[in-house]
Structure 1
């Protein structure tokens, strides 16, 4: 669950205004201490990068024809995905 930036800033400002410790502030707002420590360093959440979820099966088929003896790890590096993403379609072809 991600808290809004407004809530994060409110928690930080209340902590500063009332002179609370991290533990007291976390207890008052019912949030984790680790979250509060992270927010103190950087109130804005990190931007996530979208992952490539699907593999082009035609491109994989061409890769298999071109490199029939390649390891899954090598194919995964060429496509920029994990080994499991390569392994699952290969299993279905058998």
Structure 2
């Protein structure tokens, strides 16, 4: 969190008027010595830049997303000849996020599930006892 500009200027003006050391003024205002030293060098807080991509062609990136929707960022960076971090920032500017394609497991099959459910119903109609086992506590690699 940055301190307001008026507070910074007040600290620096009190230091000059009362001829205090950096440590004394820091203790008086309850701030760090390093903060006061930094304020002496640059009294105003640094502003953030919203710089557009210089090397990344946004149209080419959008086309790459259409051509390779499941590609990793390092793959895009390699194809476009830029850094991974540059791709990350450019994707944020485009508003592109990576989300799961579906809410079901990729190996789930409706056909196999219906077959399994049919077997269970057949066993129940035949009067057989169905026992479900929890194998999560067993080691299968032994």
> Which residue in 1 is equivalent to 2:3?
3
Task: Give the structure-2-normalised TM-score.
Answer: 0.45
Against the structure 1 CA distance between its residues 92 and 2, is the aligned structure 2 distance closer, same or farther, given a 3 Å change threshold? same
Against the structure 1 CA distance between its residues 27 and 71, is the aligned structure 2 distance closer, same or farther, given a 3 Å change threshold? same
> Which residue in 2 is equivalent to 1:12?
12
Backbone CA RMSD of aligned residues: 3.4
The answer for unaligned runs of 5 or more in structure 1 is: 53-58
* 1:1-80 → structure 2 map (5 Å cutoff): 1-50=1-50, 59=62, 62-64=63-65, 66=67, 72-76=73-77, 77=82, 80=86
Choose between structure 1 and 2: higher helix proportion. 1
User: Rg bigger for which structure?
Assistant: 2
The answer for unaligned runs of 5 or more in structure 2 is: 53-61, 103-142
Give CA-to-partner distance per residue, 1:19-63, whole Å, 9 cap, x none: 1111111000001111111100010111112488xxxxxx2xx41
Task: Give the structure-1-normalised TM-score.
Answer: 0.64
**Higher RCO structure, 1 or 2 (CA under 8 Å, sep 6+):** 1
Structure-1 separation of matches of 2:3 and 2:88 = 30
